A and B are shown apart, each in its own frame.
Chain A
Amino acid sequence: MQLRPGTEGELAELLSAPGPAFELVAGGTKRGIGQPLEAAILDLSALRGIVDYQPGELVLTVRPATALEEIEALLATQRQRLAFEPPGTMLLDAARTQTLGGVLMANSSGSRRVTAGSARDHFIGLRAVNGRGEAFVGGGRVVKNVTGFDLPKALAGSWGTLAVLTEITVRVVPAAEFERTLLFASVSVAAAVNLCSQALGSMFEVTSAAFVPGRGVALRLEGLATSVESRVVGLLAGLSLAPAAVLDGPDSAAFWQQVGAAAVLAHFPVIWRLSVPPRDAARILDEIQPEDFQLDWGGGLIWIGAQQVDVRRVRGALHGGHATLVRAPLAERRLSSVFEPQPPGIAAIAARLKTAFDPQNRLNPGRMN
């Protein structure tokens, strides 16, 4: 059974009538993440297109299945970009097209997240249909809004388990005129995280900081060319270091595309994504002893590549934070908790929240279990 509603009205009608549970699919790049579903496909790909774009308001309203590439191309015509950096698709099903709705439902953000904020941070308004078939709005089209509960936050990162988005409003910002990346050789994880912390804590507005074994520590600076030049001088003087390599403009952008997509780990059958306090990164990696890894967000995001799923070793190393199994064979995902297990009190609230939006468990049932 496959259904493809073309409007919010059709979607609401479909979900308000008794019927089966659905797996929500738009671009389909993230179907391999989360618990495998056995449900009818609800094809959302018709809910696409730009609704409203006023560059002077720094907001963009689109239907959720609009391709990320189309949005980025549109924004580029006005020298703007999304206020958060979307991640690359390397780990996902790259033959498919990533949509903005999908990025928000996964709350997935690239390397600039550490300074510019996450997808969720810049998701300011929505229209959606919940599992009861009710169409509703949340948030708005203005950047400052505290009128009622922050529904975009509730839906961001909910993996389609609460409601089906039909329209989304996100913040956009002026694109940086120029970017430069400095690469430094680093001998240890601890030294790398320390260098990232120094850089991110400096007044020189480093916008991304990562450690890719083999390439070293990478620091990105963006903005007016004159500003980047002078900040690089100040930063290097402050760190008393000389870079091993410098990447400018498109080379720098391409480098961060690879980092955001954890491309160096793309060949592993098992991939973990850990969000942790940066100061814990070296200890965690020491305990896990992964086959390969990459650090982003100044050490706060650890990507791990492995041949086997070893849940106890990975989650056991965390003292605060969360580990998500973003790639694993189907059978392994059935056996393991893909998302970080929660304490009972929090799990109880999350379950009640699910029920409030989708009492019959019709939207992506069990995907986050």
Chain B
Amino acid sequence: MICLPQPDAAIIARKAAILAGLRAILGAADVIDDDLLVRAYETDALTAYRQRPLAVVLPHDTGQVAAVLRFANQERVNIVPRGAGTSLSGGAVPAADAIVVGLGRFNRILEIDYADRCVVAQSGVTNLAISQAVAGRGFYYAPDPSSQIACTIGGNVAENSGGVHCLKYGLTTHNVLGVEVVTPEGEVLRFGGRYLDAGQLDLLGLMIGSEGLLGIVTEVTVRILPKPQSARALLIGFSTATGASACVADVIAAGIIPAGLEMMDGPAIRAAEDFVQAGYPLDVEAILIAELDGPQAEVDELITRVHAIANSHGATSCRISADESERLRFWAGRKAAFPAVGRISPDYLCMDGSIPRHQLAPVLQSIAELSVRHGLRVANVFHAGDGNLHPLILYDANIPGELDRAEAFGADILKLCVDVGGVLTGEHGVGIEKRDLMTYQYGPTDLEVQHRIKRVFDPQLRFNPGKVFPTLSRCSEQGREHVHAGASRHAGLPRF
């Protein structure tokens, strides 16, 4: 069980006055306190954790955000920024003494510039909406998290979101040119713009992936790319995960950077096939989906090379998409993997460790052993090309103690990732979920260096409290104490 921060009783006691102040700024309709309506904001995609916030506000423009933040600064009230609430790490889980600032009304695309290949959008615009807005002219926005139909570009900035195509096309940080930010003091600033590279210190680079700890992003300028001329995918079956892992390594070693290189294990394949009938082979222990995109001549050549590499690693089946509908069918199972697993288990936890590619096979073996030890099933779905694992731990929250066991299993997986030279999170963020494991990856000085950056932007520590940084905290409602800070393992060792 993860501790949420202890609320400040003095703030809660002033709730009526704070609500009145917010209504004076925004009008009554945009300040939500009704129990039923607030419920929609009590959690995000880390649904095991819920917390009623002090209030929810839904500003319409940057000026209103700035006014709310100036008021909160003056009243010393905490703030939890929120896009669509699709965070898998609890990044948007509220605090009891905090105002949730929802960006749902920031839903307009402000400018599309095809000549300069960029789009300016308000931060509540969904990821997919940007690609759809420019699709007619043959462009798209490259990062494509699986929640892209719902997640917002502002949330993507907060989490530095990736997706299945980031091996070739990069993460959010590589595709954002500029942001408009409202600081915790309520000042409106612009980092970056419609041009490349900061001329001074890279505050834009710090803002991306800062998980709502440094300010609220109200507008984002992204780069758009011309759609590749063609895209084809291979669906390759292997009798062992080891064979699939070796194939991944050899594809990369051959100098091929696929647009996507995804792997699923037996349980994930069967759940996905049962759910969407993508035509996956059921007699295998692993599949790879490799997508090649680009000019037709290049794609055809690379498909042949990948096919040969797959055969050399004992692929038991290999299908090459003949047309666009078949390519999309190959992806359908992968993209539906999370909900498919949701059908075979009442609850699941999605982990997000990232490891060096050559560790894929041994780490999968260790996860299988941990599954036995913790007595919980696991299905593995991951971005094999960049070593980003998404083990889905299956559990039932209604069975007492099972969430705790699932979390302990998850923590063991993430520690394993760090042990083999990887990191706790590849694309989902630390949030509350991995906060208490930060001391496993970073030493006290490393964390202090980062926390000083937090204090540069937010000296009163009012933004997204209880996220990312482990704190010396007391979990009174659990009847136990957590002491995190300073509990670093192998404090003298270099840590990467």
Contact = CB atoms under 8 A, between A and B. Distances in A.
A156 B450 contact: no
A203 B387 CA distance: 29
Contact of A279 (B115, B206, B301): B115
Nearest to A324: B199
Contacts of A138: 446, 449-450
A300 interface: yes
B486 interface: no
A252 B113 CA distance: 30
A346 B191 contact: yes
B146 to A, nearest CB: 14
A145 B354 contact: yes
| Range class of the A interface residue count | 35 or more
Given A143-B386, A147-B423, A149-B209, A154 B201 contact: yes
Contacts of B183: 345, 349
A350 B455 CA distance: 13
A230 B295 contact: yes
A300 B196 contact: yes
Contact of B296 (A135, A230, A346): A230
Interface in B102-133: 113-117
Interface stretch (A110-118, A210-218, A259-267): A110-118
Nearest to B420: A142
A125 interface: yes
B415 interface: no
A226 interface: yes
A156 B205 contact: yes
Nearest to A368: B200
Contacts of A201: 114-115, 117, 139, 226
Contacts of A149: 206, 209-210, 450, 453-454
A356 B434 CA distance: 25
Interface stretch (A54-62, A93-101, A181-189, A303-311): A54-62
A121 B206 contact: no
B445 interface: yes
Contacts of A320: 193-195
Interface stretch (A20-28, A42-50, A335-343): A335-343
A157 interface: yes
B116 A278 contact: yes
Contact of B116 (A113, A224, A277, A345): A277
A301 to B, nearest CB: 7
B5 to A, nearest CB: 19
Contacts of B297: 224, 226-227, 229-230
Interface string B424-457: 1111111000100010011101111110111111
A279 B117 CA distance: 10
Given A130-B449, A140-B423, A227-B297, A121 B253 contact: no
Interface string B353-392: 0111110000000000000000000000001001110000
B494 A137 contact: yes
A147 B114 CA distance: 34
Contact of B426 (A145, A279, A356): A145
Nearest to A346: B189
Nearest to A221: B295
Contact of B205 (A120, A223, A321, A345): A120
Contacts of A157: 197-198, 200-202
B343 interface: no
30 contacts: A54-B356, A127-B494, A135-B445, A136-B446, A138-B446, A138-B450, A142-B354, A142-B386, A142-B387, A142-B423, A144-B171, A144-B427, A147-B425, A147-B441, A148-B442, A148-B447, A148-B450, A150-B208, A153-B208, A174-B256, A200-B226, A203-B226, A204-B229, A224-B297, A230-B295, A230-B298, A297-B196, A300-B195, A321-B193, A350-B201
Q: Which 6 A-B pairs have the closest CB atoms?
A: A153-B205, A322-B199, A174-B255, A227-B298, A144-B426, A356-B452
